[in-house]
Chain A
Amino acid sequence: MTRAALLVLADGRFPAGGYAHSGGMEAAVTSRDVYDAATLEAFCRGRLHTAGLTAAGLAAAAAAGHDPLALDEAADARTPMPALRQVARRLGRQMLRAARATWPSPGLDLLARVRPQGAHQPVVLGAAARSAGLTPLDAAQCAAYESVGGPATAAVRLLGLDPLEATALLARLTGELDEVARTAAAAAGRVPAEGVGALPAASAPLLDVIAERHAARTVRLFAS
């Protein structure tokens, strides 16, 4: 158990397939909803407080050791769009492969056995954090950071934005990121008493809509 494990897990270079996904950014750029640093910031803030918060809650609960199958169902219930479900499970599979190689544990093996087609990525992320000896808050922080880090990197590639500006934007969001992670971890702490219904279920209809649109496109840089 080490704090530095959080750095390894949260590193964008962790080989779990994230580089091929833009978190809706490519679709938002295509629809001209994001075109500069200001609109990128608005997009990231929106994603953090919706999809990011929901993912952070699931990750925290998984890191706390709650039943991953119940959490996977809870993730399904919070992910109505088929395109996003498919992406979440594919990324979950890739995360599980990386996690089992980096922090092997019976818990991860079990998850691979009961969900051969992949569990939702935030659930696997939480299980990986647990396997690495990290806390539910760590897992929530990691999920929350991923929810904005991926789109910001994608925007740099898609729009030719100044990478320094994009990183400064992420730095400005860190206070809110901590807040979202704390909220998510607190909700995960209520799961034993209240069930998975205690977990955040925030959604962003526009992210849902553009995700389906993106999945139908034949010319694209990112898988989602």
Chain B
Amino acid sequence: MHLDHPATPLSLPHRHTHSADALRPDGSRRALRVGLGGPVGSGKTATVAALCRTLRDRLSIAVVTNDIYTREDAEFLRREAVLPPERIAAVETGACPHTAIRDDISANLEAVEQLEEALHPLDLILVESGGDNLTATFSRGLVDTQVFVIDVASGDDIPRKGGPGITTADLLVINKTDLAPHVGADLGTMAADAEKQRGPLPVAFTSLATTDGIAPVADWLGECLASWRAGAAA
């Protein structure tokens, strides 16, 4: 554990530790912070919405969206009423979505900490990146664990191409499997390529068009949360 200013209440809202402290200043465990990244249109927002619908009765959840040039993702989540509006915060990224989640995380940290202060106790904070490219990853100073979302319709060669998002994310989600027959995507090839790139790291195939299609991701998150609560790094 590392506290920059132990026992100084003055630093509460402005903790600037570099990989965020697991404990709140009052000693309780803070919410698990999960990053969701991936290319434009792969289904990040739909994944976040589905996770909220599935988990909101069991868990206290908040969401930070990083829109590229609109507030559309935040608006979508509010409109769909997957969470009450005060549980959704939007961060603006000045045309640099990867900067906001990796190189200069200050705006996202602010959003996360404000949600944590306002909605304490929270179990889970989902940080959705703006749609980006295959190199986009989250700073470990911002999130505890990260999910990279791609989809079968963007080409079944994406897992083979790799990139930090594909190779290092704690969970790779391959979404829109229901479209595979229509776009000629070979799920077997995608799974094999993903395994080659990722070794033992898990991969989840999802189709959010089907009932409970989010289950593989929700189950994985449940395990992360359990080990987070148990005190181990999630």
Hey, which chain A residues are within 8 Å of B182, CB to CB? none
Size of B's binding interface in residues, CB under 8 A: 28
Q: Tell me the chain A residues, 1-23 only, with Cβ under 8 Å from chain B.
A: 13, 15-22
Residues B71 and A112 in contact, CB atoms below 8 Å apart: no
**Interface code B12-34, partner A: CB below 8 Å = 1, 0 otherwise?**
01101010000000000000000
- A20 close to B11 (CB less than 8 A): no
- Chain A residues with CB under 8 A of B106: 15-17, 94, 97-98
Chain B CB within 8 A of A223 CB? yes
Interface flags, A113-143, vs B, CB<8A=1, else 0 = 1001000000000000000000000000000
Partner of A94, one of B69, B70, B110: B110
Whether A97 and B10, one on each chain, are in contact in the complex, defined by CB atoms closer than 8 angstroms, is: no
Which residues of chain B (85-122) have a CB below 8 Å from chain A? 91-96, 99-100, 103-107, 109-110
Query: Residue of B at shortest CB range from A96?
Result: B14
Q: How far is the CA of A157 from the CA of B96 in the complex (A)?
A: 10
Q: With a CB–CB cut-off of 8 A, which chain B residues contact A180?
A: none
Q: Name the one of A19, A93, A109 contacting B94, with C-beta atoms under 8 angstroms.
A: A19
Q: In chain B between 49 and 98, which residues have their CB closer than 8 angstroms to a CB of chain A?
A: 68-71, 91-96
- A residues less than 8 Å from B94 (CB atoms): 19-22, 154, 157, 221-223
- Given known pairs A13-B103, A15-B105, A15-B106, the reply for A20 and B10 (CB within 8 Å) is no
Cβ of B8 within 8 Å of any chain A Cβ, yes or no, is yes
Instruction: Say whether B196 faces chain A, with CB atoms less than 8 Å apart.
Output: no
Is B161 part of the binding interface, using a Cβ–Cβ cutoff of 8 Å?
Answer: no
- The answer to whether A206 has its CB under 8 Å from any CB of chain B is no
Chain A residues packing against B (C-beta within 8 Å) = 13, 15-22, 90, 93-94, 96-98, 100-101, 104, 109, 112-113, 116, 154, 157, 218-223
* Extra inter-chain contacts (13) besides given A17-B107, A90-B110, CB under 8 Å: A15-B103, A20-B94, A97-B16, A100-B16, A101-B4, A101-B18, A104-B4, A116-B14, A157-B95, A221-B68, A222-B94, A222-B95, A223-B94
**Can you report 29 A-B residue pairs in the complex whose CB atoms are below 8 A from each other?**
A13-B104, A15-B105, A17-B106, A18-B104, A19-B93, A19-B94, A19-B104, A20-B92, A20-B94, A20-B107, A22-B94, A93-B14, A97-B106, A97-B109, A97-B110, A100-B4, A100-B16, A101-B16, A109-B10, A112-B14, A113-B10, A116-B14, A218-B70, A218-B71, A220-B92, A221-B95, A222-B95, A223-B92, A223-B94
